[in-house]
Chain A
Amino acid sequence: MEFLSFLVDGLLMGFVYGVAAIGMSLIWGVMKVINLSHNVLIVYSMFGVYLLFNTLEMNPYLAILLMAIVGLLMGILIYTVALHRVIDAPQLSTLLATFSVSMIMTGVATALWTNSPRNVDFSLGSISLGPITLPGTRVVAALVAVLAAAGLFLFLYRTRPGRYIRAVANNRMAAEMVGVPSNQILALSFGLGAMVAAISGGLIATFFPFNVLSGMNYQLKSFVVCVLGGLGNPFGALVGGLILGALEGVIPIFIETSWVPVFEFGLFVVIIIFRPSGLLGAKQ
């Protein structure tokens, strides 16, 4: 029973890691861009939810919906301003471009909101199942994570823009030759990735205090999740998040919690050596 309690907690956290990584996985998979501004997209959404909740007393989940739209627009803006001109340059250029965006936006956030921790004082109570206590906000976050992954999956496989995104991901030149507007599709892809990052940031804000630097931790975890789950597949990222969450939940049963990152990043290195496309990605 003790094991189950550790595991369930880890899995609930895993859903959050999964949804945080979906955006990075999509952008990485479709655009071949490693988005180092992922952290600030998460953080800006956290602060958006915090401000809407505290100043307008808006329900946090409605605030998350608004922040998802803001995230989409921010993503398109970042692509247009910082990435569009370097999208065909070597990968290091796009990496540095998004890194610069991250530094600029972190600086602005620090100036606006300082580094003080913030808290959205919102609770949905807890559900007790025997010895396991599940905070309501964490359960809702898990459900939203599944919905976000399913929604993105349906968008990619059941809509025309989604098919365009997959076409650009597979072969951009060929897609352009058959009339796919690749620049708009790349902007949309980045926007969608940013939107999912914003959703994850908003969800995290409903149960963890945060500050302007809190996104970095989730960005790092997203890398591990992308490697575990493979790129471009929302459900792959979700499964990768669950694996990571389960590891974080269960490892402390046996050894001190401070060893968890050693195992996480050890696994990260092992996978990129032996299966670079991820556990759930196509074999190369």
Chain B
Amino acid sequence: MKKLSYILIVVSMLWLAACAPTPTEAPAEAPAEATEAPAAEPKTLVVGFTSSLTGKLEVSAGRQAKGLELWMNEVNGAGGITLGDGTVVTFDFATYDDESSKDRVQELYTRLATEDNADLLISPYSSGLTAAASIIAEQYGKVMITTGAAADSNYQQGYTQVFQIYTPASRYLTGAIDLLKLLDPDVTKLAIVHEDATFATGVVEAAKEYAESLGYEIVIFEGYAGDTTDFGPFINKIEATGAEAILGGGHMTDGSTFARQVYEKDVDIKMFALLVAPPEPDFAELGEAAYAVIGPSQWEPLAAYTPESAAKAGLAWYGLLSDEFVAAYEAAYDEEPSYHSAGGYAAGLILQKAIEDADSTDPAAIKAALDNMDVLTFFGYTKFDTTAEAHGLQIGHSMVYIQWQKDADGNLVKQVVWPQAGATAETIYPIP
């Protein structure tokens, strides 16, 4: 019995280690840049957020935080926002490492709201962490812009202070199904294999419902743990059921692993669309296994949102162009921005627009401005649901779908393949 207890203690420790394997970083506040000109009544707004500097969400969360930091540096560097009464508003950050942990998020957002006196909040990365932060934002009446948080459920809780930048999860994969329908109306069998997490589950449940409404048969609908490394059983099931296309995935590591194993097993499928992983620049590291894989993206540098397209759509344009964002990001961080980076920047930009529209730093006025937001930026169209059922849900923005293809030199490059209006290349179909 002693030995049994001992072994059980060991296994418990391992589970604990798996949950929290990385050290905590000390809270770090980004230095605010000095404003260019002295103003009569300068005011610095504190923007609070946490970022997963460590833990499993580190990659995407890090890029999101860089985008946000770039926005703050640019707006402060340009002298801040001048309100009608002459007040010059600049920004400062209060930020912590949440270690990719929900518990830490709740603790840290409480600290941001109470001890750091953050005026405004930005969400952490991922739907799961944002759900935890949203409760705190609502509890303390702080306006929070969410980015990197697509699950619809977070905006169906009756919150009034939380506003979503991303296209909701329910519309993440529906475009891929539309694309498949257009390319090959004869396909009937789909396999949906997804990470068992808030975000991915929300995406695939909506995709399943949509696919079934179009007459598709979902031959597999299964989830996997985020740390899964062996997708062999799923792949064998896909082959056994005769599925013609695969949809699913979850985050970067599991998506990359799944894609590589589908390639190595030479699975006979016509289309393969995964969440999150394919739009990441690092996905190309898979080599041939990345070829022809499709992924929904919140934003791509190729996406052509301009003042002209805004005028054409009858929308107001705000902020910088995609090219300008890409150039500034690459100059600052020496890496290509992903949609997480753009989402971070866009969260700050929308906040800036709301303050300008409100012509005030009063939280109620900023919230009212967000409720009325109807604008096109480099990130796309932004408009929030204002109904009681889904307040703050993003209803303007839509996804673009990229596919990894090869350029003339045989190098892997991303191409936009959907929507058709924004496509930069024909879809490679079926997968060779």
Contact = CB atoms under 8 A, between A and B. Distances in A.
Contact of B264 (A5, A135, A204, A260): A135
B233 A257 contact: yes
Interface band, chain A: 35 or more
Given A126-B264, A133-B265, A208-B260, A257 B236 contact: no
Contact of B224 (A121, A219, A258): A258
B22 A249 contact: no
A223 B233 contact: no
A256 interface: yes
Contacts of A107: 22-23
Contacts of A103: 17, 21, 23
A115 B58 contact: yes
A110 interface: yes
B14 A258 contact: no
Contacts of A123: 264, 288
A116 interface: yes
A92 to B, nearest CB: 8
Given A2-B240, A118-B285, 8 more contacts: A9-B235, A36-B14, A110-B54, A116-B282, A117-B257, A135-B265, A213-B21, A261-B225
A126 B261 CA distance: 12
Interface stretch (B5-13, B130-138, B371-379, B418-426): B5-13
A272 B14 contact: no
Contacts of B183: none
A279 interface: no
A213 B56 contact: yes
Contacts of A126: 264-266
Contacts of B230: 13, 208, 248
B3 interface: yes
Given A13-B232, A115-B56, A116-B59, A258 B225 contact: yes
Interface in B197-230: 222-225, 227, 229-230
Nearest to A118: B285
Contact of A10 (B11, B232, B265, B289): B232
Interface in B21-79: 21-23, 54-56, 58-59, 62
B18 interface: yes
Contact of B227 (A118, A216, A248, A272): A216
Interface in A208-241: 208-211, 213-214, 216-217, 219-220, 223, 227
A114 interface: yes
Interface string B232-260: 11111101100000000000110011001
A208 B229 contact: yes
B4 interface: yes
A24 to B, nearest CB: 11
Interface string A1-25: 0100110011011000000000000
A119 B286 contact: yes
B14 A219 contact: yes
A182 interface: no
Contact of B236 (A9, A91, A258): A9
Given A115-B58, A126-B265, A256-B222, A276 B233 contact: no
B7 A272 contact: yes
B287 interface: yes
B425 to A, nearest CB: 23
A209 B22 contact: no
B385 interface: no
Nearest to A204: B229
Interface residues of B, number: 50
A119 B258 CA distance: 12
Interface in B386-430: none
Contact of A209 (B59, B223, B253, B265): B253
B178 interface: no
Interface string B353-392: 0000000000000000000000000000000000000000
Contact of B229 (A133, A217, A251): A217
Q: What 5 A-B pairs are tightest by C-beta distance, nearest first?
A: A252-B233, A121-B287, A115-B58, A9-B232, A135-B264
Q: Which of A36, A119, A227 has the most CB of B within 10 A?
A: A119
A223 B10 contact: yes
Nearest to B265: A133
Contacts of B289: 121
A265 B8 CA distance: 11
B10 A106 contact: no
B236 A5 contact: yes
Q: Which of A9, A99, A102, A273 has the most CB of B within 10 A?
A: A9
A153 interface: no
A117 B252 contact: yes
B18 A110 contact: no
A216 B23 contact: no
A172 B319 CA distance: 74
Nearest to A126: B266
Contacts of B13: 36, 95, 99
Nearest to A209: B256
B196 interface: yes
Contact of B285 (A106, A121, A276): A121
A207 interface: yes
A34 interface: yes
Interface in A89-128: 91, 95, 99, 102-103, 106-107, 110, 114-119, 121, 123, 126, 128
B253 A117 contact: yes
B257 A6 contact: no
B6 A117 contact: no
Contacts of B229: 204, 208, 210, 214, 217
A12 B232 CA distance: 10
A216 B240 contact: no
Nearest to B54: A110
A258 B223 contact: yes
A260 B231 CA distance: 12
Contacts of B58: 110, 114-116
16 contacts: A6-B236, A10-B232, A95-B10, A102-B17, A106-B21, A110-B22, A114-B58, A123-B264, A209-B257, A210-B229, A214-B227, A216-B14, A256-B223, A258-B225, A265-B11, A272-B4
Contacts of A114: 58-59, 62
